[in-house]
Amino acid sequence: MRPSEQWTLFLARPGRDRQHVIRDPHGEPRLIFGEDDGTRINDRLARFLLESLNAGLNPNDPNPDEGWFLDSSGDRAEQDPALLICDPDFEVRLEILETGNLEEDQTLGRRATALINTYFAQEESSRPRLSSSNSRT
59: left (phi over 0), alpha (psi -120 to 50) or beta: beta
Q: Comparing C-alpha atoms, which of 66, 71, 62 is closest to residue 119?
A: 62
**Total number of residues shown for the chain:** 137
Measured CA to CA, the distance from residue 48 to residue 115 in angstroms comes to 8
Each domain of the chain, given as residue ranges in start order, spans: 8-123
Assigned architecture for domain 8-123: Roll (2.30)
Residue 6: what pLDDT? 95
Residue 80: what pLDDT? 58
Record the pTM: 0.80
Residue 37: what pLDDT? 58
Give the H/E segment covering residue 119: helix 102-126
User: Mind listing the pLDDT tens digit of every residue in the chain (137 residues)?
Assistant: 345 689 999 887 666 666 789 999 999 999 998 766 556 678 889 999 999 999 999 999 999 999 999 987 555 555 556 799 998 988 888 899 989 899 999 999 999 999 999 999 998 888 776 544 444 33
Residue 136: what pLDDT? 38
Q: Comparing C-alpha atoms, which of 37, 27, 6 is closest to residue 97?
A: 27
Q: Comparing C-alpha atoms, which of 91, 85, 95, 96 is closest to residue 119?
A: 85
Residue 128: what pLDDT? 73
Q: Fill in the DSSP letter of residue 63.
A: -
